[in-house]
Structure 1
């Protein structure tokens, strides 16, 4: 199994041609999409903040390619997940020197087997975020960021994961920023509320770098977001052929 470290091989993702990326995309705005109800809710303005570089059409397209479902897990479910993960994580130290300088103040693990209650949560994530015929990467990525931790801009390599990334945000709210790889004036700030689920695909997955802002820069629409320690549980599908 490929290490989660390799998933963030930024240099590999940047070497991919635009034609390859286009071939890998899945159109989640189709009538058959299981996202249809979420898209029709038209609540994106509550969690997306666009720079002036976006016109109306590109805002609409982006809002279909990056969805946030607030309160996806309950307080009790968050507690249950943390009770299972804490014994593993407390054996690790936070690291501030990542091999490709992409993450600061983190510890991480991969998990295949979950207790029955938590497995139901993982299955619920996969059910809402991925088509039924999806080939999942069996190992779920758990990334624990310290209060002063942050993630630098990157695009996950399509050589090691597919076209959809779905992540639970636990313990703290945070801001994810996406910047267009070729048009730097186009960026989006995404408010990831505690216990929310984000689903990233399409143009958000392939054309934008994504990063998690540090505590000092965690501001959404002029309001400061009190970011503390943040734990994310990330599901991915297998690379597309």
Structure 2
């Protein structure tokens, strides 16, 4: 876990990126200067997810809420096949070949503060 931004250059084959609202155990912390903004977001429930088509020879950048409050994973061919068999959505009509990606991260942030502990504490203050 390092860097405020991550840039991913996806090469060789198309793929599906799954972004999911992270469980508390996977949110290490957020930058202190972004805490108020991130705390103001109205995210879907933990575990909610969205799949995004990533074409080969493309770049995507993760920062802010996407970087700190969501998990990200490239779906395996088995996962894509299972979804395609359950639903007839064009997004899943692909079979990924060899995947090569280059990932670049910005300099590590040293001033991370706990996120969920502070959110829980602030909501407890409101209820008392």
TM-score range, shorter chain: 0.5 to 0.7
Give deviations 1:181-233, integer Å, cap 9, x for gaps: 14334211121101010111111100011111101223688121221110001
| Residue in 2 that maps onto 1:214 | 76
What is the match of residue 225 of structure 1? 94
Q: Which residue of 1 aligns with 2:48?
A: 186
Q: With a CA cutoff of 8 Å and minimum separation of 6, indicate the structure with the bigger relative contact order.
A: 2
The SS at the match of 1:227 is coil
Q: 1:162 maps to what in 2? A: 3
Aligned residues: 82
Q: Determine if contact 2:22/2:71 at 8 Å carries over to the other structure.
A: yes
Q: CA deviation at 1:240?
A: 1.9
Are the structure 2 counterparts of residues 185 and 231 from structure 1 closer, same or farther at C-alpha, using a change threshold of 3 Å?
same
TM-score normalised over the length of structure 2: 0.58
In the alignment, does 2:65 pair up with 1:203?
yes
Confirm whether residue 177 of structure 1 aligns to residue 46 of structure 2. Answer: no
Give distance in 2, aligned partners of 1:164 and 1:195: 19
Structure 1 unaligned segments of length 5 or more: list them: 1-156
Poorly superposed stretches of 4+, deviation over 6 Å: none
What is the CA RMSD across the aligned residues, in angstroms? 1.9
Aligned to 2:103: 234
Q: Which moved further from structure 2: 216-225 or 201-210?
A: 216-225
